């Protein structure tokens, strides 16, 4: 990148201003300083800030109050971290020239295609933080229109931005769910089944972003998940599998940069989704992958048609990347299991693994289905054999034993504790449970405090199709404070359509 052209540089004193601008690299300066005057800098100009050989490209916001002195430059948390400077040290500020690699995006908009090497250049600039939010947004918008070939190039380029894990085994198994279903914690059951069967399955999962819990959050109430790559490899070499947080292993880090803007835009491009998922799998060294696409009116994928399109996109990119990849389409009409929120979900997972009578059968059967699909896929099993084997491993307790061993290897197993404050929501009339809105029930759990309070959330008592009497419990809200319990109830009161009961005939 050619980002220094002007020879005019200016010295400032670095000050950690304590503003968290997320991944956005921001600096603050007073209006009346030599550089703002001579370069004509206004707010939102791009500046280069350097100290010795380190430097960052940052967005400037101009200060009119006295929270900074004229010779000070305030750094946002992300700028502070990236520049690795100390309070009071001298830094050099200069004009940042236009980002070179953005011309590939301009060219795409005017009819040219992205090439493999143009994506690589763009991805490198993004990982270095050279792209501003508006430039990232323009890139994401331009990527809605990618061809299959371009999607393949993008996936490859993304996978090469961070670490790539190498394994000594031929088959590295993985599963990924496209998401949108609260309580869908099959990974925590599939991993120990397959690991117990001798397959290598190093699972990296995400934390909740907009949902009440991610698999990493749910796993964390039972065992540590913040492992680095070396620690993760050690666990996998010992136990064949792991369930760790993907954020600490630096796989396809550019994805985290892009996801933030995709979320701000609420722009769901299938191409971006496929590139995001498969770039992480490639970087993790996976070879055999099952993609689970739940379909339902309030799931991420809403129609069979959309699922088929997504499926074919996954397959063509997977083929190009030499991945063994298969798709399963599953029911996405309601949450999986009973609990929603880290501890409540962990309780369900443990009940399935321990073979409790009360364990949610849907979570169990879903996990067995996925585990047997992966066995069929990369072991010499017939479908019947695979299904039988998976069930035997789970029901005999081998899977639970393996889960315990994985937890110990990750740093020690602990028993999750539910929250103290509860409130039971009951049916106002008798009727059949006609619909459960995945998004609204997730919001009730979030208002109750999940995932920041891991013990908070929602416990569903009545799945779809069940007939309930008047006053019968529909679900219980768990919270760690009375205030949060009230918030969740308040939200439910204004959204009673969370669960809809059919009329009596």
Q: Which CB atom, from 393 or from 458, has the smaller least distance to a copy of itself?
A: 458
Contact of 400 with 353, CB cutoff 8 Å:
yes
Q: Which CB atom, from 32 or from 89, has the smaller least distance to a copy of itself?
A: 32
Which residues, 6+ apart, have CB-to-CB distance to 458 below 8 Å?
212, 339, 340, 341, 344, 441, 444, 445, 448, 475, 476, 477, 478, 488
Question: What is the distance between the alpha carbons of residues 373 and 325, in angstroms, rounded to a whole number?
Answer: 11
Q: Closest separation between CB of residue 276 and a copy of itself, Å? A: 17
- Single out the segment in contact with a copy of itself by CB under 8 A; choices: 134-142, 189-197, 338-346, 378-386: 134-142
Q: Which CB atom, from 145 or from 319, has the smaller least distance to a copy of itself?
A: 145
Closest CA to 337 of 458, 224, 205, 204: 458
Q: Which CB atom, from 135 or from 311, has the smaller least distance to a copy of itself?
A: 135
Question: What is the distance between the alpha carbons of residues 194 and 399, in angstroms, rounded to a whole number?
Answer: 8
Is 255 tagged catalytic? no
CA distances from 329 to 82, 173, 291, 301, 310 (A): 42, 19, 8, 10, 11
User: Can residue 102 be called a binding residue for a copy of itself (CB under 8 A)?
Assistant: yes
Question: What is the distance between the alpha carbons of residues 90 and 108, in angstroms, rounded to a whole number?
Answer: 41
Q: Which CB atom, from 206 or from 260, has the smaller least distance to a copy of itself?
A: 260
The active-site residue out of 145, 268, 319, 471 is 268
Query: What sign does the CA torsion over 325, 331, 337, 341 have?
Result: positive
Per-residue binder mask for a copy of itself (CB under 8 A), 200-239, x = binder? ----------x-----------------------------
Contact of 24 with 76, CB cutoff 8 Å:
yes
Per-residue binder mask for a copy of itself (CB under 8 A), 246-285, x = binder? --------------xx--xxxx-x----------------
- Single out the segment in contact with a copy of itself by CB under 8 A; choices: 63-71, 120-128, 220-228, 351-359: 63-71
Contact of 293 with 274, CB cutoff 8 Å:
no
Q: Which of 11, 22, 112, 428 binds a copy of itself (CB under 8 A)?
A: 22
Q: Which of 13, 92, 107, 142 binds a copy of itself (CB under 8 A)?
A: 142
Question: What is the distance between the alpha carbons of residues 318 and 151, in angstroms, rounded to a whole number?
Answer: 11
User: Can residue 70 be called a binding residue for a copy of itself (CB under 8 A)?
Assistant: no
Size of the site for a copy of itself (CB under 8 A): 65
Question: What is the distance between the alpha carbons of residues 78 and 84, in angstroms, rounded to a whole number?
Answer: 10
Q: Which CB atom, from 256 or from 385, has the smaller least distance to a copy of itself?
A: 256
User: Can residue 377 be called a binding residue for a copy of itself (CB under 8 A)?
Assistant: no
Q: Which of 53, 66, 230, 357 binds a copy of itself (CB under 8 A)?
A: 66
Q: Which CB atom, from 39 or from 250, has the smaller least distance to a copy of itself?
A: 39
Question: What is the distance between the alpha carbons of residues 346 and 231, in angstroms, rounded to a whole number?
Answer: 23
Contact of 211 with 411, CB cutoff 8 Å:
no
Which residues, 6+ apart, have CB-to-CB distance to 404 below 8 Å?
413
User: Can residue 465 be called a binding residue for a copy of itself (CB under 8 A)?
Assistant: no
User: Can residue 112 be called a binding residue for a copy of itself (CB under 8 A)?
Assistant: no
Conformational region of residue 127, where left means phi above 0, alpha means psi within -120 to 50, and beta covers everything else: alpha
Q: Closest separation between CB of residue 448 and a copy of itself, Å? A: 9
Q: Which of 3, 33, 94, 135 binds a copy of itself (CB under 8 A)?
A: 135
Binding site for a copy of itself (CB under 8 A): 6-8, 16-22, 24, 28, 31, 34, 37-40, 42-44, 61-67, 76-77, 98, 102, 106, 109-110, 132-138, 140-142, 144-145, 210, 260-261, 264-267, 269, 446-447, 449, 452, 483-484, 487, 490-491, 494
Q: What residues act catalytically?
A: 268
């Amino acid at each position: 990148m050619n980002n220094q052209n002007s020879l005019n540089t200016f010295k400032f004193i670095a000050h950690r201003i304590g503003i968290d601008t997320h991944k956005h690299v921001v600096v603050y300066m007073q209006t009346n300083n030599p550089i703002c005057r001579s370069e004509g800098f206004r707010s939102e100009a791009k500046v280069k800030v350097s100290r010795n050989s380190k430097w960052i490209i940052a967005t400037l916001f101009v200060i009119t109050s006295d929270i900074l002195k004229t010779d000070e430059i305030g750094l946002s948390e992300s700028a502070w971290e990236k520049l690795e400077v100390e309070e009071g040290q001298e830094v050099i500020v200069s004009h940042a020239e236009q980002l070179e690699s953005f011309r590939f995006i301009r060219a795409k908009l005017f009819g040219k295609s992205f090439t493999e090497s143009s994506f690589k250049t763009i991805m490198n600039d993004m990982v270095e933080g050279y792209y501003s939010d508006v430039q990232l947004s323009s890139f994401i918008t331009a990527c809605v229109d990618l061809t299959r070939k371009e999607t393949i190039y993008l996936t490859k380029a993304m996978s090469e931005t961070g670490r790539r894990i190498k394994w000594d085994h031929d088959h590295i198994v993985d599963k990924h769910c496209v998401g949108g279903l609260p309580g869908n914690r099959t990974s925590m059951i599939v991993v120990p089944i397959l690991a117990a069967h001798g397959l290598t399955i190093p699972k990296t999962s995400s934390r909740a972003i907009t949902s009440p819990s991610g698999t990493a959050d749910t796993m964390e109430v039972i065992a540590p998940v913040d492992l680095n790559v070396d620690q993760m490899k050690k666990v996998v070499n010992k136990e064949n599998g792991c369930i760790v947080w993907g954020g600490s292993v630096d796989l396809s880090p550019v994805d985290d940069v892009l996801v933030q803007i995709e979320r701000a835009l609420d722009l769901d491009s299938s191409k971006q989704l496929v590139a995001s998922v498969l770039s992480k799998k490639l970087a993790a060294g996976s070879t055999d992958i099952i993609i689970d696409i739940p379909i339902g009116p309030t799931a991420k994928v809403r129609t069979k048609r959309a699922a088929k399109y997504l499926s074919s996109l996954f397959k063509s990119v997977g083929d190009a990347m030499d991945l063994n990849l298969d798709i399963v389409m599953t029911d996405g009409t309601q949450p999986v299991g009973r609990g929603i929120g880290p501890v409540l979900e962990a309780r369900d997972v443990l009940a399935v693994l321990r073979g409790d009578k009360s364990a949610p059968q849907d979570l169990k059967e879903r996990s067995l289905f996925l585990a047997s699909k992966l066995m069929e896929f990369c072991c010499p099993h017939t479908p019947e054999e695979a299904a039988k084997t998976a069930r035997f491993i789970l029901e005999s307790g081998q899977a639970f034993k393996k889960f315990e061993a994985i937890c110990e290897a990750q740093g020690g197993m602990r028993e999750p504790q539910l929250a103290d404050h509860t409130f039971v929501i009951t049916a106002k009339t008798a009727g059949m449970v006609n619909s459960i809105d995945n998004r609204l029930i997730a919001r009730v759990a979030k208002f109750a405090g999940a995932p920041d309070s891991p013990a908070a959330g929602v416990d569903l008592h009545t799945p779809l199709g069940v007939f309930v009497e008047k006053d019968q419990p529909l679900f219980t809200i768990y919270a760690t404070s009375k205030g949060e319990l009230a918030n969740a109830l308040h939200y439910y009161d204004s959204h009673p359509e969370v669960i809809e009961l059919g009329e009596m005939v």
